[in-house]
Amino acid sequence: MAAREVFSSRFGFVMAAAGSAIGLGNVWGFPTSAAGNGGAAFVVAYFILAFCLAYPVLMVELTVGRYSQSGIVGALRKVSPSGAKPLGVMVAAYGVTVASLILAFYGIVAGWMIAYFFEAVAQLLNQPAWAEWLTSFGITRNIIFMLAFMLLTMWIVAGGVTAGIERWSSRLMPVLFLILVALISYVLTLPGAMEGLKVYLIPDFSKLSSELILDAMGQAFFSLSLGVGTMLIYGSYIAKKENLPSLGVTVTLVDTGVAFIAGLLILPTIYVAKEMGTQVFNDAGTLIAGPDLIFQVLPSLFESMGTMGMFVAFAFFLLMSIASLTSSISMLEVPVSMALEEFKWSRFTATLVCAAVITLCSLTIVFNFEVLFGFVIDLTTKYSQPILGLLFCIFAAWLWNRQQLIEALKEGCPDLEKGLFIKIWPVYIKFVVPLLIILIIYQQL
Ligand code: TRP
């Protein structure tokens, strides 16, 4: 068998992992959850959960992945004692299913982003009829752009780890960052922006509730791409000489940092729209945060900005499309690496077959949109991801040999022995993380 591919540099890994982590969850989910949940109160809860709960789980995935040198199925099999191996395979299968279902709905939403991107192009080319079609919610449009997005995702994943995933993440992530900064610099000069900043940055702790904590936890797990084996697989492509705890911190910081920065764009933009007379609160008096925000509030703002608005819309939906693409490739890599390793298919065949199956799931959702769309999102992101994160901790801390866990972690950072991390983390993922996750989910039920 050919040697396993390895990310060619630290930078390459950070871009790929940040590319996976930074997606619609950061630029849309996080800012709008913050807006609807007491602004900075949610931001604070999110940051605490990201570092105290999501980061330790990220470390589990990276460590198990690099140690086992395989995707989720092989990894959970390898760290399980002989009697528990079938259990490992079952949990892995659950993870692969959840990853695939996440891509199935994500592909639809990402398709909308591409459609709106082309709408901006159509406006710039003065083609109002195309623009109209691109922005009206219809089954044909949804299918065409979901397929286009899936093809792009497939094309990158078929290229492999370094020539596909790493190369495109390293190219696209800096572009994403530049667009984000440019948009913020512009929006903050507009009237109303400061009001949005206030709502975002001044906490209203009266909004803190168990619901908010569950939301913040789901958001943190979703944003760091946890629970389904994405980070585990990326971990398996990290060279042995790299220091895992510090890579994990970098990824968590970049991800939460970009979520925070995206809030500096979205919240002010909403209040600029309000200032310009767009309706930003619904009849019940709450902020419009779901799809209507992205596909009605913001476009109507861009429209009222004249020619400049066309460029802003172009940049905004390009940003959203790039963010989606560097995330979707990491989702597709989960089933693809399983097919490569378990069924010994070629990367091309594996990519083709996995993408085809997921596209069928997407089509099922498109045709039963009202019933399935929200249901699949809640099932996968709100419940399955934290539960799987919990199961990963159980495998790493309870079923796997403690000595091997420590050795695997120490590779690439012999000095670890001296620090606090190694004293706290193994105990922490054994008791604290599982308990917290159970508690938060239980509170909700
Ligand atoms: N983290 C990405 C976002 O914030 C989405 C994502 C990529 C993801 N890979 C994942 C979510 C794996 C769950 C599982 O949009």
Q: What is the average pLDDT across 295-321?
A: 89
Gap from CA of 20 to ligand 1 centroid (Å): 6
pLDDT score, position 394: 97
Q: Are 300 and 278 in contact (CB under 8 A)?
A: yes
In terms of residues, how long is the chain?
445
pLDDT score, position 249: 96
pLDDT score, position 2: 61
User: What atom in ligand 1 is closest to the CA of residue 228?
Assistant: 14
User: Hey, what are 84's tokens?
Assistant: 């528990």
pLDDT score, position 59: 97
Gap from CA of 159 to ligand 1 centroid (Å): 20
Question: Is the CB of 31 within 6 Å of ligand 1?
Answer: no
Pocket test for ligand 1, best of 27, 101, 102 (most atoms within 8 A of CB): 102
Residue type, 400: W
Q: How confident is the model at residue 208 (pLDDT cuts 50, 70, 90)?
A: confident
Compute how many other C-beta atoms are within 10 angstroms of the C-beta atom of residue 246.
13
Q: What percent of the chain is helix, strand and coil (3-state, nearest 5)?
A: 80, 0, 15
Q: What is the average pLDDT across 201-230?
A: 88
Gap from CA of 130 to ligand 1 centroid (Å): 31
Nearest CA to 286 out of 35, 64, 30 is that of 35
Tokens 């900043």 belong to residue: 197
Q: Are 262 and 26 in contact (CB under 8 A)?
A: yes
Q: Are 98 and 383 in contact (CB under 8 A)?
A: no
d(CA 231, CA 58): 7
Gap from CA of 44 to ligand 1 centroid (Å): 21
Gap from CA of 289 to ligand 1 centroid (Å): 19
Residue type, 126: N
Which of 78-82, 130-134, 235-239, 438-442 is predicted with the least confidence, judged by mean pLDDT?
Answer: 438-442
Q: Is 70 left (phi over 0), alpha (psi -120 to 50) or beta?
A: beta
Gap from CA of 45 to ligand 1 centroid (Å): 20
Q: Are 231 and 61 in contact (CB under 8 A)?
A: yes
- Which DSSP state fits 38? T
**Nearest protein Cα to ligand 1, atom 15:** 23
Rounded to 10°, the helix 385-394/210-223 angle is 70
Gap from CA of 194 to ligand 1 centroid (Å): 30
Question: Is the CB of 35 within 6 Å of ligand 1?
Answer: no
Q: What is the average pLDDT across 344-371?
A: 97
> What does pTM read for this prediction?
0.95
Q: What is the average pLDDT across 197-224?
A: 87
pLDDT score, position 207: 82
Integer CA distances (angstroms), 92 to 50, 228, 311, 435, in order: 23, 8, 44, 21
Question: Is the CB of 218 within 6 Å of ligand 1?
Answer: no
d(CA 152, CA 160): 14
* Between 431 and 419, residue with greater pLDDT: 431
What pLDDT, in 10s, does the model give residues 149-193?
A: 999 999 999 999 999 999 999 999 999 999 999 999 999 999 999
What pLDDT, in 10s, does the model give residues 251-303?
A: 999 999 999 999 999 999 999 999 988 888 888 878 887 788 888 888 888 88
Question: Is the CB of 25 within 6 Å of ligand 1?
Answer: yes
pLDDT score, position 299: 87
Which of 57-66, 131-140, 255-264, 288-297 is predicted with the least confidence, judged by mean pLDDT?
Answer: 288-297
Gap from CA of 23 to ligand 1 centroid (Å): 7
pLDDT score, position 287: 82
Tokens 């089509």 belong to residue: 363
Question: Is the CB of 63 within 6 Å of ligand 1?
Answer: no
What pLDDT, in 10s, does the model give residues 398-423?
A: 999 999 999 999 999 988 888 889 99
**Nearest protein Cα to ligand 1, atom 6:** 225
